[in-house]
Structures are given as structure tokens and as C-alpha cells.
Chains A and B, each alone.
Chain A
Amino acid sequence: DAGITQSPRYKITETGRQVTLMCHQTWSHSYMFWYRQDLGHGLRLIYYSAAADITDKGEVPDGYVVSRSKTENFPLTLESATRSQTSVYFCASSPTGKNTEAFFGQGTRLTVV
């Protein structure tokens, strides 16, 4: 399917476990982003990537790791999940890095118990 897809859509994990959220886009967009959405905070940028093998921190990177070995994939890993990481996670991609040209995935709802 064309577009940007996230998997899984829902995930429950235990505190201390490692969990990886997947993001895949079919447009070959250079830029990809990971956000988390928490009530009252809107979306906050975790990490972003301008191209394969280039990643950089956003506003709230602590506790997260990303990689981008291929242009189309941008996985987000929580190395040791904490309850404060319970959130809805959105991946986005953009051909130019501009916000007006960004497309978001459907989100992954992660619950850490």
C-alpha cells in the first residue's frame, strides 16, 4: 500500500522491556519524524532524520533510540520502557522537511504497565 504506515497500531508492554515501533513510507521521502502525543501537550518531536544514516534529537529524545539504515524505514526503540512513555506515537515523512508537506501515519498507542 502506498503511503506511510505504522506498526503495531496498539501495544502493551511491561516496564523495563524493550519495544520497537515501526514506520514505513513508500514515497522515498528524505525526512522522517517521530512524535509523541500526550494529553494537553499536543505532539512533541522525539527524533527526526534528514536522510538515511542521518538522525538527530528533537524536543524529548531521552529513553528513545532511532535508526535509519533505509530511506523508507524509521524504527523507534524504547530500550527500557517506563510508564511515562505511555503515549500515542506518530511517525511522519516529508520530501523537503517542510511541515506543510508532511504526512503522518495513523499512530501507535503504546501502554507501559
Chain B
Amino acid sequence: DQQVKQNSPSLSVQEGRISILNCDYTNSMFDYFLWYKKYPAEGPTFLISISSIKDKNEDGRFTVFLNKSAKHLSLHIVPSQPGDSAVYFCAASFNNAGNMLTFGGGTRLMVKP
């Protein structure tokens, strides 16, 4: 049973608009959440994270929101750019520990010029 789910396998957005990627989790013990970005034929790269003591974390065009009561987090990209086209993985862990990382299945984002 997947503990971290990304229910939208793909998302298409126009350049300049907002991209919203969603993620749900089931284990309430997760206390650290991350988003990774992956281009074809490359490994994932860390994008942004949030601790469970916060409900928002912002880094430039990227903002992650955490709703603990709903066990839901989202990644907002504003404004979206064609170079943002990639697969985005949501992941959850305990204490940011690398051996405790659970990934969602990924969402492919396509930003159209």
C-alpha cells in the first residue's frame, strides 16, 4: 500500500501561469517532506522541502504548502517556465533521514510556450 501518492500522472500548463502539483500521504508519523525534479535520462535533484512544524516554505518561484490535518502537500510554481517541464516526485521521511524516504509515483509537468 503506497504511503505517498501523487494522483495526477501528468499536468499541462501554459507558460507564465501557475503549476500546482499535489501529493497525499497516509502515515501521520512523516515529519519531513521533499520535492524532487527529474529530467529525462538524469537522476532526481532536490528542489524544496518542508518540515511538519511549518505549513509553507518558499524558494524563489517554488512554494510548498503542507496541510497536516488533510495529510496533503502541494508544490506551486509561479510563473511556470518551459524549463520546468520535468517529472516531479513528492517524498516523505522521518527527520530528513535518507534511509527513511518514501516517494510518490511522480507527476509529469509540461509547460507549453
Contacts and interface: CB of A to CB of B under 8 A. Distances in A.
Interface of A: 4, 31, 33, 39-45, 48, 56, 58-59, 90, 92, 94, 97-107
B89 A42 contact: yes
B98 interface: yes
A54 to B, nearest CB: 12
Nearest to A6: B43
Interface stretch (B44-52, B63-71, B74-82): B44-52
Contacts of A94: 98
Contacts of B42: 106-107
A2 to B, nearest CB: 15
Nearest to A98: B96
B106 A56 contact: no
B41 A106 contact: yes
Interface of B: 2, 4, 6, 32, 34, 41-46, 49, 89, 91, 93, 96-99, 101-106
Contacts of A45: 99, 101
A89 to B, nearest CB: 10
Contact of A42 (B32, B98, B105): B105
A100 B34 contact: yes
Nearest to B9: A40
A99 B44 contact: no
Contacts of B102: 42, 59
Given A33-B98, A94-B98, A107 B41 contact: yes
